[in-house]
Structure formats: C-alpha cells, structure tokens
Structure 1
Amino acid sequence: MIFRWLLALMLASFLFFSCKIQESKTKNTQELTEKILPKYAKGFFWEKGEKNYFVLYVTQPFSDKTDTLRYILAKNKQDVPEKLRHLSFIQIPLKRFVSTSTTHIPALEALGSLHTLVASNSLQYVYSEVVQKMAEQGKIAALSEEGLEVEKILALQPDLLMVSAMPATKMGIYQKIQQAGIPVLPNSEWLEEHPLGKAEWIKLFGLLLQKENEANTFFENIEQEYLKLKNLAQKVQKPRKVALGMPQKEIWYVPAGKSFGAIFLKDANLEYAFASDTGKGSLQLSKELVFSKFVGASLWLNAEIPPQLHSKAFCEYAQIEAVRKNEIYDRQKRLSPKGGNDYWERAVIHPEEVLGDLIQIAYPELLPQRELVYYRKIAVSCP
C-alpha cells in the first residue's frame, strides 16, 4: 500500500515538473514570434517579440571578421524580457540619428525621415540639395573627417550612431560613446554581393524608424523594376564585351566574378572577361593581363579620371575597340558643385537606375526614350 502511494506521488511530481518545464519552454518560444529574413541582403535579419520588441542581428558587422552583433529594439525598455536586457538597447522609432557615411542618407530621404538626422560627416560632398540646405541652416551638424569627435556626438544625445562596417580592431574607438549609453550600429551594405542586397538595407532603416510598410513597398518597387530590366536585357542574342575601370600605375583593379559589380554586368547581359572568377570583392591584376583581356571590348565603363587626362590615358589603350569607337563612359553625370557624386548615394538604394543605364548604353534600342541617370559619355580624340 505504501509502495503504491509512493509510486503515485512520484508520478504526480514528475507530471507537475514536466508541465512546468514545458510551460517554460513554450513561454520562451513565444517570446520571439517571427523571424524576418531579407530576400537578398545577408548582413542582417531580426526577430519580432510578442511584446512590441525586436532582436536585431547584424551578421556581418566587420569587414575582416565573421561575427554577429545583437541589439534589442523597443519603444520602452520595460517591454524587453529581463534575459535580453544585457543587449545594446535602441529606442525606436529613432528621433535623433548620427551617421558617419553619406551612403546612409538616401534611405532616410526615401522614407521621409531626414528630420531625424542630426549629424554626419562629409556633408560638403553630399549630393542631395535638401541635405545641403539643412546643413547650411544648422539643422545637421558637420562631423570631422579627420577623427571621431566623441564629445560633439555625446552633446547631440543621439538615439543611435550608425557607422560603416570596418575591421573589428577599429571598433574600439567607439567605446566611450557606447559607455555613455549610445548604441553604435555597423552598416555593412557595402559588403553585400548583390545590388538588390545593398538596396534592401532600407528595410533596416524602416525597422529603426518604425516605417516597415513604407520600406517594404519601396524595396518591392525597386526589385520589380530591376527584374523587369534584367529580363529585357536577356533578349539580346549577342552580348557586347565590356572593359571596366582604370589602371593605377601597374595594377588594374576589376570586380571579382561574384561581386555586385560583376552581377550588374551579368544582369545587363554584358560579356565580362572575369565573370568566371569566384571571388566576391575586387581583383588586383597586372595592367598587361587586364589589357589583353579587354582588347576586344566594344564598351568601356566606370572610367573615372580627371578630364584633362582623358586623351592621354585612353589613347594609350587605342587597341581596345571601345577607344577606337569612342564608347567610353564614367559615372560622373550627377556631381554636386563640390564634387559629391550621387552614384555613391542615391544609386545605393536605386540599383534599377544603374542597371537601366548599363542596358541603355549597351543596347539603346531596348530603352529608346530613356535618359542616362549616372553615366555619361567621355569624348576622346586619338591621333
């Protein structure tokens, strides 16, 4: 009888604690209810909590190291579970934003949130006339390009400091800012391998600004137009060969085969000599090797050099077909008076405009009514 009573007690205890464990597991599982994964971008994703908070994962915060940084985003910190409060906290929606790169500005402008930008560097080179005017009116403080102005940033009391991805060893310069309670978020859009992946970082801005629907709609429109243009280019039966970039002394830097630059060329249906390369960055090759690969190219793109050097620089390579046919283009159509280039700003979130330029240059019959946005033709006269 006693044995049966003990057995029943043990069974009841087991069931009780099993239920508690299961209840705890269920509670922990329910705390994060949805994972939001980008379609092209590989540098971030986030999970949504059941109480109006988000866990943001920046999966490629450093340019030289594989690592993941986590942040907790919420309107009120008390909405965050106790076990997650050790993570760097970002209060959303952002009201005061500091950026160390002008490439972050177009996303703010596209989402109607330039008023949140309180400081940035390189403002003299910004192409956006709206941002230039705000800077002149003192609405956006100018940060030095020579070094991090810690005290100035602290005085601005921003909700977030966004920086470009960099070597992990350099993140230490932001320690004092982080210790003051200001989160520092690396933006690694420039490390993305696909043009649409770079543009998709606008979704992260949408999360930070609590404008997710606007960001999603913006990106969907960009993606739709990009894919439409890509499909249009594939109708060309005989792709044109393309030369790219300019040599620097004895080295010629060209995009690796899996880089976003090479993907642009592929999607524009252009034949690129290094397309089969499996790298994702840039290639540093000898001038002689690259020249030998580009001799048959009927187009020369991304040829940025000072105008006074055009004839001398290009006529040296007169054997390249593009030089003989005067089919040379650079990306300097949209320059501000002080040299700001919109290709490095707006084009980051508008890859469809870049792809449209490439297709229009290579196959003008496909887009007869379109005007070039970022590219312009260079006039060269060789003896």
Structure 2
Amino acid sequence: MALSRAKPLSALRQFLEGQASAGLVLMGAAVIAMVVANSPAAADYEHVLHSMVGPLSFHHWVNDGLMAIFFLLVGLEIKREIMDGQLSSWPRRILPGIAAAGGMAVPALVYLAFNSGATARGWAIPAATDIAFALGVIALLGNRVPISLRVFLTALAIIDDLGAVVIIAFFYTAQISLFDLGAAAVITLLLFALNRSGVRRLAPYLLIGAVLWIFVLRSGIHATLAGVILAFAIPLQGTPGKPDADEHSPLHRLEHWLHLPVGFLIVPIFGLANAGVPILGLQPEAFTAPVTIGVGLGLLVGKVIGVFGTSMIAIRLGIADMPAHASRLQLAGTALLCGIGFTMSLFITLLAFSNDLLLQAEAKIGIVAGSLLAGLLGYALLRVAKGERSEGADDNQSIV
C-alpha cells in the first residue's frame, strides 16, 4: 500500500527517530536507577521518592501526574493513527492488530501458568510492549531493518497501548467514588462539546483537562486515564478554510509539543523513579519466584509466540500480507523486540502489587531480565537476518 513519497514518509521517519532516541535515553535512566538502588545512595533515593510535595509524594506525582501527560501523548498517537494514519483502514490494522492481540494474550497465559491466587493479579505485566525501547534497539541496527517492520512495530505498540489502557481501566481500578466519577463524566461531555462546537484553541481543553485529572484521581479510576480521555477530545481537524489546516490542527500541535518533553524528560524520570530494584538486599528465592519467572518468560517467550505465531498464521491464511521486503527471520526478530515491556510493564506492576514491595521487586526483576534478553536476542537476530531485497530500494517503495 503506497504512500506519497515526500511529506508523509518524512513525518513518519521523524516520529520513528524521535522514539528511538527517547528509547536510548530511557535505557540510560534505567541503568542509573538500578545502580543507585544498589549503592550507598539507596537510602537517599528512597527518601526522595517518598518525600511529600503538597498532597502527594514525589513518587505519586511521577506515576499519577507526569504519567498522565505520557498517556495524553499515547492517546493522541492512538487517535491520529486510527483516524488519519497507519491504522486508518482495516487492511492496515489487520496484521498489527492480530499480532498485538496475540502479543497480549499469550504472555498473560504464560504468566498464569506459573501464578495463581494473589499473584495472579499480575497477569497483565508481561502483556505490554515499550515502543521507545524497541525502536531504540532498532535504531542501533540502522537500515538493516526495513521501514515496513518499523511501521509494523509502531502500529502494534500503539494497539498494545490501547489494550493496556483498557486493562488498567477495567482490571486495576480501586473503589469507585460515584460523585467524583460523575463529575469526571460531566467534564468529559464538556470537552467533547467543545470539540463539536468547533473550538480549535488548545488552552480550554488543557485547562478543563487539568480539572478532569483531579476528579479522575479522586474517583478511584487511575488518574492517567484522564490523559487518554483528554486526547480523544482534542480536534484532529484544523480551522476550516486555512491552508494545511489539518497539519496544524490542535491534535498535531499538541502531539508535536509533547514528544520531546515526554520522551526525554517524563519517561526517563519515570524510569529513574521505578526501575531501581535493590537486588543486593533480596533473598535468592526472589530470582526464581513464580512472579519473576512468569513475567520474564511472558516477555521473552510469550511475546514471540504471540506476535510471531499469530502473524504467521494470519499471513499463511491470506488474512494479511508480510510487511514489505521483510523476511520471516526479520519478523521473528521484531517479535522478540516486542518482549521489551519496560515502561508500561513497570506501571502495571505498581497497580497490580501496590501494597507488596516484595512482589513489586520480583516483577521488576522479571521485567528487566525478560526485556534485556528479548532486546539482545532480537538485536542479534535482526543483525544477521536478511530481507527479501536490499534496503536501498525501500525508501521509494510501499512501507506497509
């Protein structure tokens, strides 16, 4: 399915390169957090995380406040891709959609094969893919990976993020405050009324969105979902009658403004605040605990089986086409990279085991180990795998 040659491809490349660079920064933040958490500065690290800043601790501000902005960007990307991008038609949605569904279901089943009872609550931890980390690894490979696979991975991760949002809303919600939930519903209607009435200035949406965040936080539903709700209310169309109106629409402008601060500030801060695991203080049993094994194998094995297996079934049945110029080995390598579940997996860990620090630590060990092995193996396989034709022709060809 061909795209126009210049602007769309250039915009796509800018997005992929930005995500890849952010992934490399996130890798550095995760390493720093692990080193600090296992150094003499560990006590100071914990003190900073639990210091109160107004009504919430610094840790809560990061996870409930800054991550709401992260989810706002995720929501904007989901809306743009569904309405006007790589997921705007069913032929484009089929392969990444099937792969994303398999990539969420199989890791969850692998986790549940090792866990039952109280620890079964962590079933969604290995179901997520970290697009920034995965594209960061692909960036290291240069043009060895066809652009079609980068688009496939991006579309899959966006659908995966949508699935994670649904999972958080339905499975990791605390007790509900009906008053605050009702107030949030009224504010949501107001946001969509602004959209329908043709308001194209961002300021009203952002101000009302901040109020929405407060009520969602108080309602018992996780506060980050306010970011997704706000994103879907932001207009994708620009002011009628103006040249290139849609390219400068509120959604495109806000997405452009958020990419750098989210990728290079918010997500690394989240990594610094949550990736630190005091490994030296854990008992040896923590490294072989059911949660650790379930999360690690869910990411490393479950993702490959889920993404690659369902993709090949869909391709063999003629439901979907193989990404352009990509080989099966390259698709398998990309499926391995989907096993990098860092940011969203850490986030779901905090929700699943909010009152058990030991289970959090075990899950984090599984996330780090599974993601690291998946990334290394995916990198190695993509480095040696050959595409169906040289990458040099890829720039002027269909990219999906």
Under a length normalisation based on structure 1, what TM-score does the superposition of the two structures give?
Answer: 0.23
Q: Which has the higher contact order (CA 8 A, sep 6+)?
A: 2
Richer in helix (by share): 2
Under a length normalisation based on structure 2, what TM-score does the superposition of the two structures give?
Answer: 0.23
Give 1 or 2 for the bigger CA radius of gyration.
1
